[in-house]
Amino acid sequence: MWPRTVLYIFGALVIATLSLAKSHPEVLAFVTEVKGQVTIRRVNGGTETATMGGQLLNGDAVAVTSGKAVLIYLSGRSVTVEARSIHKVTMGDAKQSDLIGRVVNTLAEIAGPQTDSDRPVVHGMARDLSGVSGALPVNSRLFNPNFKFSWDPLEDVGEYEFKLEDAHGNVLGERTVNKTEIAASEFVLELGKRYVWSVQEAGSLLPRRSGKGWVEIAEKKESEQLALTLAEIEKKSAKTNKELLKAVSLYEGSYYYETERMMIALQAKGELSDLEDKMLKLAYFKMERWDRLPLAEGAEEAGGGEAGIAEKE
């Protein structure tokens, strides 16, 4: 038999624990876009200026004085709050799969504040574009094995020399092509292995080069799991969020090239939101595709030397 004092203490701890769990606010949504004057009215009575990536708790309200705000719930539901209106965050709007919640939480992290090392555009940075630019995919895992190595054309260049190596520098294949792409299917690429490729102009004593970049195709089990994730997003998320949430899933798995492809396809349909534009820039940043990032204001393109990816030994 427990002493009465111990039972009282135990009972008090249980009540305190339950009260704490009940009162602990739960993140249900976050802000993906802010245009104009937008504030968050916290359930505890506080007020703050809304920013992209801001977390929203059950009972919070988003008030738009001018402009608009866009939110995404953990369910994948998207809400646009127009000027002179208020949207209250409620638990009922957030019930959905754990998968969507995890993806949206990752999106919240991406949308949130950045450190200088995470910033994809460095102000005042000049890019060297004198080499072969636009080499893609590079420094990225790949979900789809049916891709093409491609690069930007050089003026007055009719042929290019393509080289494929393994991770140890052994040459696996070389091709001379008169176009700016070559199908990966021309080579025997094994799943889960890393390959290094480069391209340079042919027939020159001092050829312009792309530098080296690596690619790695996901193993079958990983690609199957990702396919299930993308299918669930397609089925359960809001129509306006599908491409963005799929891009986040790809980004999580270091499939930066396919993240870029998805954002480029979305961009073709209309102007990207701030968050979508950030996703595109982050994909380029992760692939070290400096020549794809917009020049910072006042920066000039530099000349001389190789462009694009730094040569890796």
The pLDDT tens digits of the residues spanning 101-110 come to 788 888 888 8
Domain residue limits at 37: 27-97
Residue 234 lies in a domain: no
Do 183 and 261 belong to one domain? yes
Say what the pLDDT of residue 195 is. Answer: 97
Quick: pLDDT tens for 32-67.
Answer: 889 899 999 998 989 999 988 888 988 999 999 999
Residue 12 lies in a domain: no
Do 135 and 51 belong to one domain? no
Q: Using alpha carbons, select from 67, 93, 61, 62 the residue that is nearest to residue 82.
A: 67
Full DSSP string of 86-111: EEE--GGG--S-HHHHHHHHHHHHHH
Do 127 and 70 belong to one domain? no
Do 183 and 36 belong to one domain? no
CA–CA separation, 107 and 248 (whole Å) = 6
Do 191 and 150 belong to one domain? yes
Residue 202 lies in a domain: yes
Count of domains observed in the chain: 2
Handedness of CA 89, 90, 92, 97 (dihedral sign): positive
Quick: pLDDT tens for 103-153.
Answer: 888 888 888 765 555 555 544 444 455 689 999 999 999 999 999 999 999
Do 158 and 263 belong to one domain? yes
Do 56 and 189 belong to one domain? no
Burial code (b: 16+ CB inside 10 Å, e: under 16) for 250-280 equals bbbbebbbbbbbbbeebeeeeebbebbebbb
Check if the beta carbon of residue 213 is closer than 8 Å to that of residue 197: yes
Could you say which residues of the chain have pLDDT below 50?
A: 2, 5-24, 122-127, 302-313
Q: Is the pTM of this model over 0.75?
A: yes
Residue 17 lies in a domain: no
Which CATH number does the domain housing residue 134 bear?
2.60.40.10
Say what the pLDDT of residue 53 is. Answer: 81
Do 87 and 180 belong to one domain? no
